[in-house]
DNA sequence: TGTCCACTATACAGATCTGTATACTTCTGC
DNA sequence: GCAGAAGTATACAGATCTGTATAGTGGACA
């Protein structure tokens, strides 16, 4: 479950760093297809030659964009989890949602970059596809591990419910249909955990 | 079944119908930006002149694509709700999720067209933007109306939780991180309703 | 017979896209 | 002093994009 931090496929020179920073901002704000390499190079204050010398293709910039954002998210999440170290799995599950809420307020005006990229990249053979599915799988595994500490029997079911609430809050935030969806998710999560943990794997209720 | 059928901004000649059918399939399967008007015209067996004579712009085709899909979804949903007519709000809420599950299995291999389009469009001044937000607002209003029949006090909170589970299942289905997310959502919804309805709007819990 | 109407066929304008080529500069380390 | 790495500047190839222009076809209907 430790992320295997594979080395960057890209030499991160100062120019490359500026390219990636510009690409992250532009891709997230306007979408991947809507942003061309000329614009990225111009915003980064770099020539296209430098851009292609470092990254080789636009696809690779997309991969680095998503992988980098995922990495920053995991670091951020780790900080929130450290803050409740020693406390039980309930507190850590709540901490995940609180981390997402803080992240969404700070970085997430346009929703989840992974969900958005998944919508733009129909083709599963795109090199960014594993980054996207890997990130979502990682989140599900995280929830599953925490759920197992609460009730090993129904852990998968609880984890999937948490995943639904989390993804739902991400997309609701992106569409903006009602305010503070993570607040709503948190309320529901606290309620589920307080009740002795929601629908388990089996055929529901007492 | 009678949806309010506001007049199309487009004369739906046989050629226009084929254009829209091809656009719906291609936009959903490959994404909006990834599909050009030349391809749409070719797949529809129509010249570009016909396409532009009918729709005027690609943007307008996108609007018709989303509005048409929304209309079909509402008709489908109406059918599922009629099947439980006379029964209580609980049964109708469950019926909504069952309708989404059936829809996703049939039309939804790539997730929710509204969520995907919202990810691709970025710009809120795009004419398709109101179609997207309108559809999500309509779903939230639907849940709110049903929730009000269960408990007027906490209706907004219950509706938002249902919305989170529903959007979460849509996006989980699109990413494919675990199988049958609507089944999981249904389980959780039945549990919430069976328990006397979950976290209410206010600062309810213990 | 004549007039719409939907449509075909084809060509092209003009912009933008990803990616490459050539030649030169600037800085660093040995 | 000099090699190599990183970058600038500029031009261009080749494809694809949205959208338009011109000319003609075939059927319905009065």
- Interval A143-192: pLDDT, tens: 999 999 999 999 999 999 999 999 999 999 999 999 999 999 999 999 99
Same domain, A161 and A102: yes
Same domain, B188 and B159: yes
Q: Among all residues of chain B, which has the CA nearest to that of A113?
A: B119
Same domain, B103 and B65: yes
Structural domain total, chain A: 2
The CATH number given to whatever domain includes residue A49 is: 1.10.10.60
pLDDT at A200 over 60: no
CA A188 to centroid of chain Cα atoms: 21
Residue the block writes with tokens 């998503």: A66
Same domain, A158 and A63: yes
Residue A88 included in any domain: yes
Residue A69 included in any domain: yes
Q: Is B49 on the interface with A (CB under 8 A)?
A: no
Same domain, B41 and B88: no
Q: What is the pLDDT of residues A50-60, one digit of tens each?
A: 999 999 999 99
In a 3-state reduction of DSSP, which class is residue A128? coil
Same domain, A152 and A174: yes
Chain A residues in contact with B30 (beta carbon < 8 A): 122-123
Residue A108: pLDDT band by 50, 70, 90 thresholds?
confident
What count of other Cβ atoms lies within 10 Å of the Cβ of residue A186? 21
Q: Is A109 on the interface with B (CB under 8 A)?
A: no
Task: List the single residue in A114, A176, A187 with the smallest CB-CB distance to B199.
Answer: A187
B5: Cβ contacts below 8 Å, ≥ 6 apart = none
Residue B4 included in any domain: no
Same domain, B185 and B117: yes
Burial class (CB in 10 A: 0-12, 13-18, 19+), A58: middle
Same domain, A45 and A75: no
A15/D1 CA-to-C1' distance in Å = 28
Same domain, B33 and B102: no
Cβ distance A205 to B190 less than 8 Å, yes or no, reads yes
Same domain, A39 and A125: no
In a 3-state reduction of DSSP, which class is residue A94? helix
Q: Is A198 on the interface with B (CB under 8 A)?
A: yes
Six-digit token string for A2: 């430790």
Average pLDDT estimate for B80-103:
96
Distances (CA, A) of B109 to A104, A199, B60, B101: 27, 26, 24, 11
Cβ distance B119 to A30 less than 8 Å, yes or no, reads no
The boundaries of the domain holding residue B119 are: 61-194
Give the pLDDT confidence score for residue B152 in this predicted structure: 94
Give the pLDDT confidence score for residue A18 in this predicted structure: 96
Residue B195: pLDDT band by 50, 70, 90 thresholds?
low
Q: Is B35 on the interface with A (CB under 8 A)?
A: no
Same domain, A108 and A161: yes
Instruction: Indicate the DSSP class of residue B179.
Output: S
Average pLDDT estimate for B68-84:
96
Chain A residues in contact with B114 (beta carbon < 8 A): 175
Residue B3 included in any domain: no
Question: Which of A107, A185, A196 minimizes the C-alpha distance to A153?
Answer: A196
Same domain, A26 and A80: no
Residue B6 included in any domain: no
Six-digit token string for B32: 């909006």
Tell me which residues of chain A, numbers 9 to 28, contact chain B at a CB-CB cutoff of 8 Å: none
Cβ distance A178 to B111 less than 8 Å, yes or no, reads no
Residue B198: pLDDT band by 50, 70, 90 thresholds?
very low
């Amino acid at each position: 479950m430790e992320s295997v931090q594979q080395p960057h496929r890209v030499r991160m020179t100062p120019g490359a760093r500026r390219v990636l920073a510009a690409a992250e901002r532009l891709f997230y704000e306007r979408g991947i297809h809507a942003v061309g390499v000329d614009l990225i190079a111009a915003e980064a204050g770099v020539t296209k030659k430098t851009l292609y010398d470092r990254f080789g293709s636009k696809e690779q910039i997309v991969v680095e964009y998503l992988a980098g954002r995922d990495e920053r998210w995991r670091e951020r999440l780790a900080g929130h989890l450290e803050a409740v170290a020693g406390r039980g799995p309930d507190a850590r599950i709540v901490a995940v949602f609180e981390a997402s809420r803080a992240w969404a307020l700070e970085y997430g005006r346009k929703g989840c970059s992974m969900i958005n990229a998944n919508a733009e990249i129909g083709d599963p053979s795109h090199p960014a596809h594993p980054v996207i599915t890997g990130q979502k799988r990682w989140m599900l595994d995280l929830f599953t591990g925490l759920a197992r500490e609460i009730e090993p029997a129904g852990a998968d079911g609880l984890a999937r419910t948490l995943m639904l609430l989390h993804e739902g809050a991400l997309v609701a935030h992106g569409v903006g249909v009602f305010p503070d969806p993570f607040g709503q998710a948190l309320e529901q999560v606290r309620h589920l955990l307080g009740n002795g943990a929601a629908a388990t794997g089996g055929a529901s209720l007492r």
